[in-house]
Amino acid sequence: MTPQARLPRGLALGSLGVVAFSFSLPATKLAVADLDPWFVAFGRAAVAGLLALAVLWAGRAPRPTRGQWRRLAFVVVGVVVGFPLLTSLALRDLPAAHAIVMIGLLPAATAVAAVLRAGERPALGFWLAAGAGTAAVVAFGAAGGAQGLEPADLGLLLAVALCGVGYAEGAVVARALGGARTICWALVLALPLTLPVAALTAGGLEASATAWIGFTYVALISMFLGFFAWYAGLSRGGVARIGQVQLAQPVLSLGWAALVLGEAVSGSEAVTAAVVLACVVATQRARA
C-alpha cells in the first residue's frame, strides 16, 4: 500500500484514538479525587497489562525482536509509566482545564520526536501549520482559565516530553507488529513494575463510584483500547502528521471538563476549534 493510500486510514485511526484520549485527563481528575495518584497511575497500567497478557496469549503473538524491545522500553517509560504518573500527581493540585492546556503541547513534542527518533522529515508547510495549531491551543487554554505556570506544570512538561518520545518509538514498532500488539507488549513489559507498585499503593480502595468510573476509563480506554487505534494510525500515516490530529484533543477535553467536572471554559471554544481543525487539515495536506 502506498503512503498516499495509507494516510486516510491512518488519519481515521488516529482520530479515533484522539477521541478516546480526550476524556483521559477529566477521568484522571475524577479518579485522584478519592484514590492515591500513584495507584491511579500504576493500577491503570497493571489492569491494562493483565488484559494485554491475555490478548497476546490468545493470539499466540510472536515475541518482539531485541531492537523492538529497546523501543518498547521507551514506550514503557513515556506512555505506560511517565505520562500517567506525572499527570496523576499534577491533577491533585491543578484543575483539569489547566492541565489540558499544558498537554496541548503534546503534538509539537510528538513531531520533534518523530524527527529525532522515527527518522521523519516533515516539510516547512507542516511545521508552520503545526506551530499555528499549537499557538491556537495555548491561546484557547489561556482564555479558558489557565492562570499561568504552576509548580506542577514542570511535571506536566516532562510528561509531554516523555509521551512524545513514547509515541514515536511505539509507532516505529507498530509498523511491524501492529498497534494492538505494540501497546500490549509494552504493558506486559511493564508488569513487573506496575503490579507491585499498584498493590503497595492500593490502600483500602475506599472511593466513590465516580472515582472508580474515572479509574476504569483510564485503565480500559486511555491505557489500553485507545492505543490500539492510536499506534496503528501513527504507523500508517506518519508520526509527525497523525500526531497533529491531537491538536483537537484539548478542545474536546475542555468540553468534557466543563460537562462532567463543572469547570468553567471560555466562550471562545467554537472559534478556537475552527482554527485548530483548520491547522489539522493543513498538516495533513502538507508535503511529507
Please give the grid coordinates belonging to residue 284.
495533513
Tens digits of per-residue pLDDT, 216-258?
Answer: 999 999 999 999 999 999 888 888 778 878 877 877 877 787 7
What distance lies between CA 55 and its chain's CA centroid?
Answer: 21
Asked whether 184 and 39 are in contact (CB, 8 A), the reply is no
Query: How many domains does the chain divide into?
Result: 1
Mean pLDDT on 5-23: 84
Q: What are phi and psi of 8, to 5 degrees?
A: -60, -40
The proportion of the chain whose per-residue pLDDT surpasses 90, expressed as a percent, equals 44
Q: Structural domain of residue 168, as residue ranges? A: 3-285
Q: What pLDDT sits at residue 117?
A: 73
- Cα angle at 217 between 216 and 219, to 5 degrees? 65
The proportion of the chain whose per-residue pLDDT surpasses 70, expressed as a percent, equals 81
Q: Specify the long-range contacts of residues 70-75, CB closer than 8 Å, at least 24 apart.
A: 71/169, 71/170, 71/172, 71/173, 72/169, 72/170, 72/173, 72/182, 72/185, 72/186, 72/189, 73/189, 74/117, 74/165, 74/166, 74/169, 74/170, 75/166, 75/169, 75/170, 75/173, 75/182, 75/183, 75/186
Place of cell 510528561: 159
For 262, how many CA atoms within 13 A lie in the half-sphere containing its CB? Answer: 1
Asked whether 223 and 79 are in contact (CB, 8 A), the reply is no
Confidence of residue 279 (pLDDT cuts 50, 70, 90): low
Please give the grid coordinates belonging to residue 31.
479518579
Of 122, 167, 171, 160, nearest to 283 (Cα)? 122
Q: Which of 111-115, 128-132, 231-235 has the lowest mean pLDDT?
A: 128-132
Using the predicted structure, report yes or no on whether residue 128 has a pLDDT greater than 80: no
Using the predicted structure, report yes or no on whether residue 39 has a pLDDT greater than 50: yes
Asked whether 218 and 24 are in contact (CB, 8 A), the reply is yes
In this prediction the pTM is 0.83
